[in-house]
Structures are given as structure tokens and as C-alpha cells.
Structure 1
Amino acid sequence: MREPDASQFQKPREDMVVSVCFSELAASPTTFAALREVAATLDRAFRFREIILVVDDTQREAFLPLIAEVPNCRLFVVRRGTEYYDRRVIGAEEAIGDLVVIGNLDEIVHIDLIAFLAHAERENTVTMAFRAVRRPVKRLLAWPFIALGKLAGFNVDPSDFQSIAVPRTLLNLLLAHDEPRLALRFPPRDPRLALDWFRTTRNVPGRTAFMGLARRAQLLQTLLVYLTPTILSVVALSSTILTLLGLAYAAYIVGALIVVDTLAPGWLTTNAMLAVSAVFMGMSTLGLSLGLQHLLKQQRRLKGGIVPEEVNRIDLFQQVAFDLNVEVESDVRAGPAGAD
């Protein structure tokens, strides 16, 4: 007779709240079934959990039956066309859990979610899902992003899974980064942010090296934009060199005019125009690059640019207090009647 699995009799943990966020979902029966399975898996291991869904406003009605069926499932709607990385930031900012997963549903259903969370908690690291076996084409397409990522200070590898598990303290550091959109997908090279990989042997079916080319183009653009201060510094240096060369060339022309008795017809005007053009272009480009660098240093990172609408509000903190029979009393007491 087969012995029952002891894990099914374990009591769900009550010492933490878990948040799982999904930012790219299709309104299909397959998606709804997968979300129900994720909720059931979490409920077997944790007493308090929430699932955060960030979807287009056009999909609002399709997800309403699901959030009515699955407890503690929060739905946020954003404008259609909102970038994928911005959606991940929205999900992370709204999460209240002690452990937070910023996940891709296609990946989550093929990895051990509970082991994924346990690894992040045990190691206290930003944990990324990782598959050791890579296709050669994926490796070839990934190297330009890896190189740009190193220049920008991020651990960029598009071949890694998009799902990460993060303890709350480290999540706050990621959200406080200058570029949280990249930080939540490719953790920055920061000694305060310990990074680890959760290895899995399973691959996501149907995912090829040529899928998500539009997103990779968006990633390339984001990396180049983040490298703007470095690029501007290079431009400023090259403009300074060009200005100095132009001035040296102008000095050479003046010296030739003084030393040489007879110059070739048109030599003086042609070379004078070249020197003036070099000095003008160098000083103009230098001034523009320095001005842009000054503006970038003065600019503060804008927050709240994309405000999602929360369709259903839940009070998970109140639920935790009620389930654990915690009563909060005020320390402020009224004085005796008639006291001055």
C-alpha cells in the first residue's frame, strides 16, 4: 500500500505574506486555469498570499469573474500599450508581501514556485530562474545585450527567465534604483543586492530565440538611454579635442601667413574656413553635451507617471489581524472627567 505524501498534511505557514505579480496576461481560459493553479499552490504552502494582475483596460471585463472567484486576487488596469517593464514596476510597487515574485505566467507554471520562494528566503537574495542548457542561437543573439548591460551596470542576459523572487528589503532597493524598470528585470551590479539563480531543467514550450524581438528592441533602446550620461561624457571629451585641434590649426594658419611670403591662391581662405568650422562644431557640441549632463544631474526621477486603476480593493492586513486574533489598542486614553 502506497504511503501518503506527508507534505499534503503540513499546515500552511502563517509567518509571512507572499505576493505574486503578473504583468503580461492574455484573457484566455488557459490563463485563467493557470492562475487558479498558482493560487491553489500558494494556498497549500502559505496562509496569507496575494496575486496581483496588471492588464490592459480592454481586458478588464474578462478578468472580473476570475478575481471574484480567487480570493485576494488584485486587478490593476493600465492604458493599452503601456510598456512591459513599466507594468512590472507597477506590480512590484503595489505588492505588500514579505516575499515577492515578479513572474511570467508561462514560466511559473513550469517551475516549482514554492521551492523558488524558499530559495529566495533561505539565501536572502534576488533570485532569478535559470536554465543551464541554452540554444546556440540564443547565446549569439544575447551577447550585444550582455555587453551593453555590463557598461550600464546591470546583469543583463535575455536568455534568463523573466521571473524573479525577491525579499521585501531587496525589493525596496530595486524600486529605489534610478532605473527600476531595468532593475526589476536585470538586477544591477550592486554589492547591496546579492544575486542568485534558481536552476531548473525545464524549458518554456514554444519559446524560441526569435520570440519577443519587439521587447528586445525596446530593451536595447532602454539600455542606450540609460547609458546617456556615459555617451554624453564621451561626446564632451571628443568635442573638447576637436576644439583644441581647430585652435591649433588656426594657429598653424596664422604662423604660415607670417612665415611664408607667398601662399597658394585660395589656401588661406579654405584652411581658415576649415579651422573656424572645427572650432565652432567642437564648442557647440561641447556646450550641448555639458548642458544635457547638467540637466540630467538636476532631474529627479519622476514617480507616478503611470497610475493604474485598482478594480478591487482588499485589506490583507486586516485579514491577517483577524485570523491571528490580534487586537490593536490605542495608547491614547481620555483623562478623568473635570481634569484641567
Structure 2
Amino acid sequence: MHEPSPKSFTKQREDCVVSVCFATPPDNDEAFKTIREIAGRLDEVYRFREVILVVEDHQKDAFLPLVEEVADVRLFVVRKGTEYYERRVIAAEEAIGDLVLIAQEDEAAHLDVLAFLDHAEKSTAIALANRGARRPLKALMSWPFIALGRLAGFTVNPSDFQSIALPRTLLNQILSHDEPRLALRYPPRDPRLPIAPFKAAKGVSSRSAFKDVGRRMQLLQTLLVYLTPIILSIVAISSSLLTLVGLAYAAWIVGAVLVVESLAPGWFTTNTMLAVSAIFMGVSTLGLSLGLQHLLRQQARDRGERVCEEVNRIDLFGKVADDLNVELESEIWSRTSATDQNREGD
């Protein structure tokens, strides 16, 4: 006779909803297996969970069987070529869980997902997994990104896992950041956003120093773009100094004309042109930099619709209310109103 598993008698947690997001899942059997296993492990501990998949439009048909097989899977379709970091933001914005895990499929297969989520919940911090030992070549290639990240105010370390787990309150703060795409991958250096490192049991063997060169170049570009206000401030300061130097040079030329009785032919014309050029370049560059800074401050973040469609909608809140026997106040009011109307009709 088959004995039931001891886990079947373990009571599931009902006080927490978990959202697991995959922003770039490939449409292959290995990724599907990882998603099934993670969903099964979450079901052993949590009563309410959802799995969010963000796929491109040409991948939709491949994921439909998985959506039908695994319960509470939400499939979001985006345009082909949607940026990797943008897809992570889309998944995070659609998540409704109290605990949110944005996972990379190859890393999730090597992570203890339950321990990772528990670490983020107990520490009330952003859990970042790391590989422990790092190769010298990877450490050398990471230094430019780390330096730029510190300058931009982010905790950047390309050697860390791309998977991140965090409570809902911290996720809301990250999504309200000026650059949520970058903040969701590398948390800002902010005391309101504590970080809790998580030691992974083993690394991801499929990763190499040159595997994600394109993505790292994209990260470098994003960091440089985010440094635009700082660069413009430096340009404004240097332009101001150039303008002052030009004015001082012009004053020196005027003093030389008044004091020196005889000047070399062409000296006055040449130096005057140099002084005017310095003043003009300084003032014009200063004006352009200040104008761009003003535009950047006035520009609102684009919050337009980026999801083309949600293939399958699930009413997770309704499921929670039904399973916990919770009756909404609006439903009670509507039933009371209907009863009163029936009595008046009688």
C-alpha cells in the first residue's frame, strides 16, 4: 500500500501571496520543466501563488499548453524586440503578490526558491543571490560597471545572479524610481532599500564571461544615459569656468592696450578673437547644458501601455476570497438592497 508523503499533511500558508515572474523564458522543454517544478514547490508551502510569464508575440502559441497545465499562470505578450530590462519591469508591475520573485530560468533551476523567498521575507530586504567564488576575468570585467554604478547610485555587480526576491513594499519603492528598469536589476544605494545577500548553493555552469556581452553593453549604455544629469552638471560647471577665463583674458587684453605703449602687429586682433571665442563657447555650452537639465527635470516618465495582451486572466483575489470564505462588503450591500426591493414589491 502506498504511503502518503509527509508533505501532504503540512498546512499551507494562507497569509502570503507569492508572485514568481519570468521575464525572458525560452520556449523549450527545459524551461517548461523548471517552471512546473517551481510551481509545484510553491504549492507545497503557499496556498496562493501566481506565475507570470512575459513572452514575445511569436512565442505565445508555444506557451499555451503550459498555461493550461499549470494553475494560476498569467501569460503576457509583448512586442518582439522589447528590451530585457523593460520586460522585467512589466512583470513586476503586473505582479500582485506580497512576495515577488523575478527569476531567470537558468538560475531558478540552481536556486532554492523557497529559501530565497523566505530570506527576503524574514530580512524584509531585497534578496540578491551570488555565486560566492568569482573568476579573476569576470572580476576584472566587472570593475567598470561597479564604478559607474556607484557613481550613478546603484549597487551594480554583474557577477550577482539576475534573480531578485523582495517584499511588496520594497518593490513599490523600486517601481516608483526614476529608472525602474535599472533599479529592478541593480537596487539603488538607498537606506530605505536594504539588501540581503543570499549565498547560492552552486553557480550557473552555462554562464561565461562573454555569454551576455550584448546585454552588458546595453547595461553600460543605460548607466551612461542615467549619468546624463551628472555629466550635464559637469559640463555646466566647466562652461562657467571657461566663460570666466574668457572674461579674465579679455580684461587682460584691455589692460595690455592701456598700459603697453607699443604692441606687436596683429597681437590685439588675435588675442581678442581668442577671448571672444572662449566667452562664446562657454556661454553657449552653459546655456545648452542648463536647458537640457531643465528639460530632463520637466520630462515625466512614460507610463504608456506596453503589454499587447494578457492571454489568460485569473481572478486570484476572487480565489482567495472564496477559499477563505470572505464576503465582500459590496456583495453584502447588493444582496441587502435586492432583499429590500423584494419586500417593497410584496
Give unmatched runs, 5+ long, in structure 1: none
Distance 1:323 1:95 in 2: 20
Structure 1 residue aligned with 2:182:
182
Do the aligned residues in 1 keep the contact of 2:76 with 2:307 (CA within 8 Å)? no
More helix by share: 2
Higher alpha-carbon deviation: 299-308 or 12-21: 299-308
Distance 2:201 2:166 in 1: 21
Structure 1 residue aligned with 2:322:
322
1:9, CA displacement in angstroms? 3.7
Q: Residue 80 in 1 paired to residue 80 in 2?
A: yes
Helix, strand or coil for the counterpart of 1:198? strand
CA deviation profile, 1:169-214 (whole Å, cap 9, x unmatched): 1111111111111111111111111110111130112201111111
Distance 1:312 1:7 in 2: 30
1:88-127 pair list within 5 angstroms: 88-127=88-127
1:1-340 pair list within 5 angstroms: 6-7=6-7, 9-304=9-304, 306-330=306-330, 332=333, 333-334=336-337
Distance 1:14 1:100 in 2: 16
Distance 1:288 1:220 in 2: 25
Do the aligned residues in 2 keep the contact of 1:90 with 1:308 (CA within 8 Å)? no
TM (normalized to structure 1)? 0.94
Name the % identity. Answer: 64
1:45, CA displacement in angstroms? 1.5
1:12, CA displacement in angstroms? 2.1
Alpha-carbon spacing, 1:305–1:323, altered in 2? closer, same or farther (3 Å): closer
CA deviation profile, 1:154-181 (whole Å, cap 9, x unmatched): 1110100001111111111111111111
Do the aligned residues in 2 keep the contact of 1:129 with 1:163 (CA within 8 Å)? yes
1:139, CA displacement in angstroms? 0.6
CA deviation profile, 1:116-160 (whole Å, cap 9, x unmatched): 111111111111111211111111011111111111111110100
Aligned residues: 336
TM (normalized to structure 2)? 0.93
Helix, strand or coil for the counterpart of 2:185? coil
Distance 1:231 1:170 in 2: 29
1:6, CA displacement in angstroms? 4.6
CA deviation profile, 1:87-124 (whole Å, cap 9, x unmatched): 00000000000100011010011010011111111111
Runs of 4+ in structure 1 displaced over 3 angstroms?
A: 3-9, 329-338
Give unmatched runs, 5+ long, in structure 2: none
Distance 2:238 2:207 in 1: 43
Distance 1:326 1:48 in 2: 15
Distance 1:118 1:188 in 2: 22
Alpha-carbon spacing, 1:103–1:308, altered in 2? closer, same or farther (3 Å): farther
Query: Which letter does structure 1 place at the counterpart of 2:317?
Result: F
